[in-house]
Each structure stands twice: as C-alpha cells, then as structure tokens.
C-alpha cells in the first residue's frame, strides 16, 4: 500500500461553522443540552483531532425524547395525510441533495472514509432512499377478505403504524444507516427516537436540522447521541417504545432483544456477517480479482457484508490471490479529506486494536499474510489492507467478524465443497459468486444461506431491494416494501351485515 501526500480538501464554511459550536440533542423540535450537562468528544480518526463536543444523552434525556415522540405520534403527525408525508420526505431529500458536499465532508471527517466515496455513494444513496420511501406513504393498503362464514360479514384489514420507534445505528455508514431506518418508519407514519453511534454523531445531528427546515412537526424525529450502555440501553428497554430497530454487532443485538422483553416491543436487527465470496473455476479472472478486492476493501472492510472469506477454485487460487494481494498493496491510505486517498483509517483506536489483535491471532495460528498484516503508520487508526493465506476453518480470523480490511483465502475443488464451507458460519448476511455459467450461479445462489447473493458483482444496494440476514445476521429486512411491512401493524376488522 502507499501513503498519498496531496493537499487536503478545504473544509467548507458550512462545515467549519457546524463544528465550531457544541452540538446538542434534538428533542421535541428543540436543541437542548443533556440534563446531566455531560458532553463527549467526536474525533477525526485519521489524526485523533477533536472535531466537536457533543451533548451526551442518558436515561433522563431518552425519557424526554420518547415523550416527545409519543406526543407527536398522537398529535400533529397522525393528522397528516399520506400524500403530505410524501411531500415532506421528498422535500427532505431535496434539502439533503442540496447539501451534498457539506454532508460528505462531515461524514469523511467523522468516519474517516474518503470524501470522494461519501460524495458519490453515501449521500446520493441516502437521498434516493428518502425519495423511494416517500413514494410508499400513499401505497400502504389493507385488503378485503371473503369469509368462509358466508356473505353476512364484511372483513377487511388496516395497515397502521407501529407507533414510537427507537432506532440505534452504527458508525460505518452513519448517514446512510440513519436514512435506511428513518425513511420507512416515517413513510409508515411512525415517530422516531434516533441514537447515532457515539463515534460518528455529526451527520445525524446535521440531518436533524434539515427535518425542521423541511417542515416536519416537532417531535416526529428526535436525535439523542450517547453511549450504548446508557442511552442505547435505556432506549431499547423503554416501556413506551413500540419497536426497536438496531444495526450493529450480533453481540449487542442479543442484548437489544433481552432489553425489549419488558413490554415485548417489536424488534428488527441487522447484525454481523462473515460473508463468503466464491470464485468458480470458469470465472473471468480479472473481473473476479477486482470484485474480490472491492468486496473486502470497500469502506476499509468496515461493512457487515464484507466478502471476508474468499473461496477460489483450486485451478485459479494462486492467480486470484496474487491479484487481490497486488491490488491491496497499491491502495493509497490517507486522510479521508485527501483527494488522493483510496482507503482511510478505521473509525477508532478501539477498532484498530480489535483488527490488529485479529491479525496477530491469525499469524500465531499459522496464517500467512500475502499482503499487509499490520498497522500502517504511527498516527491515526490505519491498518494495512490484508490478504491471509494458509488459513484453516478453526482459526479465529476465519470464524469471527473482523470488521476491517482483512480477507482470508481458501481453495476448493467442487461445488458441493464450497457451498458447505460457505455456510459453515453462524452468519448469513451476504455472499458473492463469480462465474460465467448461469446454471452454476442459480444452483449456488440457492444453496448459500444469505440474505443477499451477488453474482458477478458485489456491494450493490438499492432502496427497492430488501436487505437483511439469515441465522445470527439478524431479524427482518431493511429497504423495499419489506421495511414498510416491519413498521406497520395489521388490524383485522369483521362486521356483521
């Protein structure tokens, strides 16, 4: 890998202004300080620089936010027609699009991702999601049902919003994950208390300002940055929350489920992954090499669907591994705001320690690095893009989610061998298949237990395509009409004529 040394892109005046003031909590349409008076720092992961101070919500603030969301749900929000909700979401999308550069810079600074990626992926996908979900508001329908009891009855169903929703989002795609949650909830008519990750609260807070500008009633969206052990736990367990939607690790997802048992609130979870990426013997080698590198190195490997287990047919194994390793060595590491950067830092010192611990574990168990294998530099939370070979199924680097730019490479002989190995994991979020044979693609896609299977591509997402996981990768689906379904309740009505 290389370190690029070009000039950093200058922060826009809007970003400079936004970072110059302590950022507060959004509760009931007002920006307020935490009741405790506490704040925390959000850092630039490339330098360790303090970007801003953010008010730290705890249980008392969560309670106020839930009350505000309940008041809005029972009041002004419920009085809007579906078409009015649509227009608000479309206006919000327009505002976000108008501020693309500002949001891209905030995302790059707070998360570390390259500014160019935030400009062309994170912000545009968020805009598209709001527009897509805005179209659903007027299309949430019930059905009439013919009863076996005869024609003396009229039976029909109503689709109603779940109510007050707690949403807890991760730090790897801070803006996009917020929008994936907010879009369907608002389209369905719910109100929201959103807790962004403590590592990356900035774009969620800036988005909160756009909600007011778009004209959403006070309390429809409340934003409460804080830590998982305090704010997150209080939100998941709150007795007046009707549903909790969480994206994050499987370990924390299990804690969310336990916290939700108090009032048996609805739960959706988008959790971890250890996704197989399979290169068949007939694949276009150069396309597969580029795709395999993209599958693991995109967003610094901090993707729940990262293609972190690379299975390659034995006749192509050496060629593909050498190709992916060569690409890894050429990736330019640097500050996200550097125009030449292709991969930024990991999000935090905690994440750096986690990933380097995995690398040390792999080497100690007998793995060998064909590329990378260590931390990069002394400043910031950078790790080298890494390809590990000579790996065995029992190794920690193979079994557990690393959440960094680290791929393990495995040769295989037959279709049966690889589908069994691909499914040998507690996860089932994503998978990739590279082949020129359409029959093999369909057969293997049917055998792999994953919520999304990409064929001759990877990391393709769309607001209309449902996303979620099998097994311990989660419950429910994001995006598409499936997401709308999960933010509504079905009520049956039966009338004797």
> 51-80 burial string, b = 16+ CB within 10 Å, else e?
bbebbbbbbebbbbbbbbbbbbbeeebeeb
Residue with tokens 């070979």: 389
d(C-alpha 199, C-alpha 403), whole Å: 15
Which listed residue (55, 137, 303, 304) is catalytic?
304
How crowded is residue 257: how many other Cβ atoms within 10 Å of its Cβ? 15
pLDDT value of position 6:
60
pLDDT value of position 317:
98
d(C-alpha 58, C-alpha 54), whole Å: 13
- Indicate the pairing of strand 368-371 with strand 25-27: unpaired
Residue ranges, the chain, pLDDT below 70: 1-6
Label residue 460 exposed, middle or buried (CB < 10 Å: 0-12, 13-18, 19+): exposed
pLDDT value of position 381:
97
Residue 322: helix, strand or coil by DSSP?
helix
Residue with tokens 């002989």: 413
Distances (CA, A) of 321 to 215, 315, 333, 399: 53, 12, 21, 20
Query: What is the Cα gyration radius of the chain?
Result: 23
Distances (CA, A) of 281 to 295, 348, 457: 19, 39, 16
Residue 419's closest CA among 403, 435, 404?
435
d(C-alpha 10, C-alpha 101), whole Å: 11
Q: Is-catalytic flag, 270? A: yes
Residue with tokens 């101070």: 53
DSSP H or E segment with residue 195: strand 191-195
For 369: left if phi > 0, alpha if psi spans -120 to 50, otherwise beta; the answer is beta
Q: Is-catalytic flag, 213? A: no
pLDDT value of position 254:
97
Distances (CA, A) of 309 to 354, 427, 447: 18, 12, 17
Across-strand partners of 269?
246, 475
Which listed residue (107, 198, 270, 478) is catalytic?
270
Residue with tokens 């300080």: 33
d(C-alpha 241, C-alpha 265), whole Å: 7
| Helix ranges (DSSP H) in 193-348 | 202-214, 233-237, 250-259, 285-297, 317-330
d(C-alpha 96, C-alpha 395), whole Å: 44
* Beta-strand runs (E) in 12-125: 25-27, 30-32, 39-43, 50-55
């Amino acid at each position: 890998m290389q370190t690029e040394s070009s000039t950093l892109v200058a922060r826009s005046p809007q970003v400079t202004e936004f970072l110059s003031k302590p950022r507060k909590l959004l509760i009931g349409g007002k920006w307020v300080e935490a009741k405790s008076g506490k704040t925390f720092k959000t850092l630039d992961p490339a330098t360790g620089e303090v970007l801003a101070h953010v008010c730290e919500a705890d249980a008392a603030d969560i309670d106020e936010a839930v009350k505000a969301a309940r008041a809005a749900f029972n009041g002004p929000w419920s009085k809007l027609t579906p078409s009015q909700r649509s227009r608000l979401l479309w206006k919000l999308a327009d505002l976000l699009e108008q501020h693309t550069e500002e949001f891209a810079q905030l995302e790059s600074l707070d998360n570390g991702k390259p500014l160019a990626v935030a400009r062309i992926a994170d912000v545009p996908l968020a805009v598209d999601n709001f527009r897509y979900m805005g179209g659903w508001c007027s299309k949430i329908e019930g059905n009439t049902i013919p009863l076996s009891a005869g024609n003396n009855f009229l039976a029909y169903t109503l689709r109603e919003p779940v109510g007050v929703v707690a949403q807890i989002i991760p730090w790897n795609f801070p803006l996009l994950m917020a929008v994936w949650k907010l879009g369907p909830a608002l389209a369905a008519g719910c109100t929201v208390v959103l807790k962004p990750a403590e590592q990356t609260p900035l774009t969620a807070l800036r988005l909160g300002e756009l909600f007011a500008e778009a004209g959403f009633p006070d309390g429809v969206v409340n934003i409460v940055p804080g830590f998982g052990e305090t704010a997150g736990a209080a939100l998941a367990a709150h007795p007046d929350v009707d549903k909790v939607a969480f994206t994050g690790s499987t370990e924390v997802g299990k804690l969310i489920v336990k916290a939700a048992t108090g009032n048996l609130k609805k739960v959706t979870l988008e959790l971890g992954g250890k996704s197989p990426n399979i290169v068949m013997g007939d694949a276009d080698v150069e396309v597969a090499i580029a795709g395999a590198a993209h599958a693991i190195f995109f967003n610094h490997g901090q993707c729940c669907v990262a293609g972190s287990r690379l299975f390659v047919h034995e006749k192509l194994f050496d060629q593909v591994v050498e190709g992916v390793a060569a690409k890894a060595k050429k990736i330019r590491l640097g500050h996200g705001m550097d125009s030449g950067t292709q991969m930024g830092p990991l999000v935090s010192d905690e994440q750096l320690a986690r990933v380097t611990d995995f690398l040390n574990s792999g080497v100690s168990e007998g793995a060998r690095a064909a590329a990378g294998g260590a931390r990069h530099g002394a400043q910031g939370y950078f790790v080298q893009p890494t390809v590990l070979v000579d790996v065995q199924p029992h190794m920690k680097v193979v079994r557990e989610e690393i959440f960094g730019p680290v791929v393990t490479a495995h040769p295989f002989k037959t279709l049966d061998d690889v589908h069994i190995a691909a499914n040998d994991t507690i996860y089932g979020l994503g998978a990739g298949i590279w082949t020129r044979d359409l029959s093999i693609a369909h057969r293997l896609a049917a055998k792999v237990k994953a919520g999304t299977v990409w064929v001759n591509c990877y990391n393709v997402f769309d607001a209309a395509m449902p996303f979620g996981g099998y097994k311990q990768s989660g419950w429910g689906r994001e995006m598409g009409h499936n997401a709308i379904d999960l933010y509504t309740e079905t009520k049956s009505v039966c009338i004797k004529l």
